[in-house]
Amino acid sequence: MPEKDNKNSNNSTATLTNYNVCEGIETEIKTKNNITIKEVSGKGKKEDVKIDIIVNYCKGCEICVAFCPEAVLVMNKEVAEVIDISKCTKCNICEYLCPDFSISVE
């Protein structure tokens, strides 16, 4: 099992770290009860979109990356990551195909 980027072991409170991946996109890393969620939000192709990836659950199978018709996702250290949310059409294919319920789009 590859080591995941989840160094925060605080079990009781959420820790938020905000940074911009690039202009117009906001990413928050939330950690609570040892579960780390990367939350990326911004303007998609049609409307605002938010993509959550649960880092701990992602096993790096690359299915979401391979089947996203808009090349929104990439792999980064064996965890899926949003590379260009502006192309996302909210088709939810990534969410439907993820075998570990690691990614959600709303």
Nearer to ligand SF4 among residue 12 and residue 46 (C-beta): 46
Q: How many CB atoms lie within 10 A of CB 46?
A: 9
Nearer to ligand SF4 among residue 11 and residue 48 (C-beta): 48
Q: How far is the CB of 42 from ligand SF4 (least distance, A)?
A: 11
Q: How far is the CB of 13 from ligand SF4 (least distance, A)?
A: 25
- Evaluate whether 39 touches 27 at the Cβ level (below 8 Å): yes
Q: How far is the CB of 37 from ligand SF4 (least distance, A)?
A: 12
Q: d(Cα 106, Cα 104) in Å, to the nearest integer?
A: 7
Residues near ligand SF4 (CB under 6 A): 53, 58-64, 68, 70, 72-73, 80, 88-94, 98, 100, 102-103, 105
Nearer to ligand SF4 among residue 29 and residue 73 (C-beta): 73
Residue 83's contacts (CB-CB under 8 Å, 6 or more residues apart) are 71, 72, 73, 74
Helix (H) or strand (E) holding 28: strand 26-32
